[in-house]
Amino acid sequence: MSETLQDVIDKIDRLPEHFLVAIKVARMLDGYNLDLDIQELTRVISLDQALTSLLLKLCNSAHYGFSRKIVSINDAIAKLGFKTIKSLIFVAVSQGILNQEVQGYGLAKGELWKNSISCAVYSRYLAKITKYKDPEIAFTAGLLRDVGKLVIHKYVGVGYNEIIELINSENISFVEAENRVLGFNHCQIGAEMAMKWNFPPILVDVIAHHHTPEKALKGGCQDIDLISIVHIADALAMLLGAGMGSDGLMYSLELKSLENLKIPQQISSIENLISDVTDLNSEIEAMLGIVSEK
């Protein structure tokens, strides 16, 4: 591998323009300031007409079941609340970068996008059943956790056979094999992208450690519960084949995450959990359809 981690980081492009609005909104909603000016928030979102249109389509989807059509961002905020609006904005803007072919991981166009939406929906569900403080930030974290694959995939493609050989011969995870062959992994690159794009620190931590929650604990990350939620949701998305690439099922589920969230580890309980998240697939398909339609 001739390129270093820093070489790859230097090649990361500036944040796609649509994401500027999403990050600005996320910053405005950090801490959920009760003095937040709803009119100012509405103005910021409305600056992007395409985003506004897509956001209203999402808000009017059958999933929310409102009897009266939502016709403005103001109305959407009033009906759905700040947190839900924030996660829907990230859905709307992330499609532009996640809905593409990622050759090095064997992902055809649309597969990373489907996998990301699936992980987001599963993360929100896990957050709710484990009484995590903010299911919507869990949704956003699940949505963005694999963003590093967009940059690193060409390097993985070149070293894929060597990576697989290491996994099979030494029984290590895909992330560890990436490290050994490339000198870095998609989680590291994703975290560097997130920092370069000025994502909130809580999202940077999840992107960096969604495959390694134990290391996150040792590294002093503040929100281990959120990292554990996304770690489990990622495993469920892979297990259920939602946009599973060539690295699917080559990551280990850290049982400590289940214990940390007080999720029973008996086979019957895990089977029930899988059944419950499978029932969410209709919501995922509906969301994919709304965002993808012209």
pLDDT of residue 25: 82
pLDDT of residue 33: 56
Residue 289 to residues 58, 61, 91, 95, 110, Cα–Cα distance (Å): 10, 10, 12, 12, 11
34 falls in which pLDDT band (50, 70, 90)? low
Q: How do residues 52-65 score in pLDDT, each as one tens digit?
A: 998 999 999 878 87
The model's pTM = 0.90
pLDDT of residue 35: 62
Q: Please tell me whether residue 238 adopts helix, strand or coil conformation.
A: helix
Question: In this structure, which topology does domain 5-15+100-292 adopt according to CATH?
Answer: Hypothetical protein af1432 (1.10.3210)
Residue 151 to residues 10, 197, 250, Cα–Cα distance (Å): 11, 14, 20
**Helix, strand and coil in the chain, % to nearest 5:** 70, 0, 30
Average pLDDT score over residue span 225-241: 95
Flag whether pLDDT at 30 surpasses 80. no
* Contact yes or no for 64/84 (Cβ under 8 A): no
Rounded to the nearest integer, the mean pLDDT of the chain is 88
The neighbouring-strand residues paired with 107 are: 102
276 falls in which pLDDT band (50, 70, 90)? very high
pLDDT of residue 1: 55
Q: Please tell me whether residue 262 adopts helix, strand or coil conformation.
A: coil
Q: How do residues 161-200 score in pLDDT, each as one tens digit?
A: 999 999 999 998 899 999 999 999 999 999 998 888 888 8
pLDDT of residue 187: 95
282 falls in which pLDDT band (50, 70, 90)? very high
Distance CA 48, CA 53 (A): 9
Q: Please tell me whether residue 168 adopts helix, strand or coil conformation.
A: helix
Distance CA 285, CA 77 (A): 24
Q: For the chain, give every domain's residue range.
A: 5-15+100-292
